[in-house]
Structure 1
Amino acid sequence: MFTLQRLETHSQDIKRSRFQALCGSVSNEDEARGFIARHSDPTASHNCWAFRIGQVYRFSDDGEPGGTAGKPILQAIDGQLLDHVVALVIRWFGGTLLGSGGLMRAYGGTVAMCLRAAEKIEIVDTISGTVACHFSDLALIKARLPAFGIAIASESFTETGAHLSLLIPRMLAVDAAALVLDLSRGRATLVVDD
């Protein structure tokens, strides 16, 4: 699965109606609803949206005929294997009715074009862990962990060394524990919180 690197936009005119898609990455449902509230245009004819966050998804047709806006937006998100993504399409009505099929193509197509052009990043399932190490091992451990895709979230110091809070790709948990043991010559261990 992938998510978006940053806010993306795309606009197009279809039979004198203006469609503008805004797509972004979100962590939870509250963030998605906040994104929609911030970017919706009260002067527009319709502010239709959809989001997917894991197994949670929602969509809205905002006054368009049922199933012609929100669902095609969600299908565009799902069609590109995206997660933790919200998409809003703002429509300014131009006077020409598009019909159900035309609306579905307009909403879904505008989002699909926006998402195709977007820079995506892979979502990596991580777990947290901690390492307590001596000062003599700290520099080497801090230098080598990021090279293996392990992020140091925070560090705190004690009289003899440091405690590192880590974000570890789940698939590397066993290898990370072995790496910490090797780097410290057995003096430090990784404790994984799962």
Structure 2
Amino acid sequence: MLYTLISPYTITEEIKKSRFIVNASPINNTEQASHFIAQVSELSATHNCWAWKLGNQYRFNDDGEPTSTAGRPILAAIEGQDCDNVVVVVTRYFGGIKLGTGGLIRAYGSSASHCLQQAPLVPIILRIPCYITCLYSEWPILENRLKEANAIIEEQTFDAMSTQLHIAITEDKIASFNEFIINLTRGREKLIIKQ
């Protein structure tokens, strides 16, 4: 099961006199990730290294640290804590002691992990987007069933005779919900999975 943060979370750690400020936040798109990175990055800091993950998409940045010693370990921490839809920025203020390649990897990775371990998390419920059409007379019954199935109505439009819905529903409920739609509409409609 994958998790995301309930809200932004921050911790500060000191490692060999360097101060590491870790800011993590839930995100729903790349624009939110970029905005959060810009918002929490401190210009006076030595480095503002970051990583984000959104499903199969991910990015990371070492911000001047040796290649793959900061961004990649932050991403590994996100994945290691079973997180998704998350951005993590680790801001480093150099304390005068060089950490070396291994030390940097450990420092960035462990501080990001500690932040995600302490942050309040919530499970991500994966839902599949679908379409449904029903007559107005069928809508009250369908509306109740949508609530029971914990489906989310993403968009609803109306015409003279019916309502068209774009919903998101968990995969385990698709077969039974499709059967319900077929029975409700007497075979006129079925659940259409959005490609």
TM-score if structure 2 supplies the norm length?
A: 0.84
The corresponding residue for 1:121 is 122
Contact 2:135–2:161 (CA under 8 A) maintained in structure 1 = yes
Equivalent pairs, count: 194
The corresponding residue for 1:22 is 23
What is the Cα-based RMSD across aligned positions, in Å? 2.4
TM-score if structure 1 supplies the norm length?
A: 0.85
Runs of 4+ in structure 1 over 6 Å off:
none
1:144 aligns with 2:157: no
- Counterpart CA distance in 1 for 2:15 and 2:56 is 33
Contact 1:141–1:184 (CA under 8 A) maintained in structure 2 = no
Q: Output one character per residue of 1:118-170: Cα deviation in whole Å (capped at 9) or x when no partner.
A: 23333344332222222222122112212213111122223334222211223
Contiguous gaps of at least 5 residues in structure 2: none
- Counterpart CA distance in 2 for 1:136 and 1:55 is 41
Q: Secondary structure at the match of 2:37?
A: helix
- Counterpart CA distance in 1 for 2:155 and 2:67 is 48
- Counterpart CA distance in 1 for 2:174 and 2:164 is 18
Identity between Structure 1 and Structure 2 (%): 38
Contact 1:10–1:111 (CA under 8 A) maintained in structure 2 = no
Q: Counterpart of 1:67 in structure 2: which amino acid?
A: S
- Check 1:60–1:193 CA distance in 2 against 1; reply closer, same or farther (3 A cut): closer
Q: Secondary structure at the match of 1:19?
A: strand
- Counterpart CA distance in 2 for 1:124 and 1:58 is 23
Q: Counterpart of 1:168 in structure 2: which amino acid?
A: I
The corresponding residue for 1:72 is 73
Q: Secondary structure at the match of 2:192?
A: strand
Contiguous gaps of at least 5 residues in structure 1: none
Q: Counterpart of 1:137 in structure 2: which amino acid?
A: E
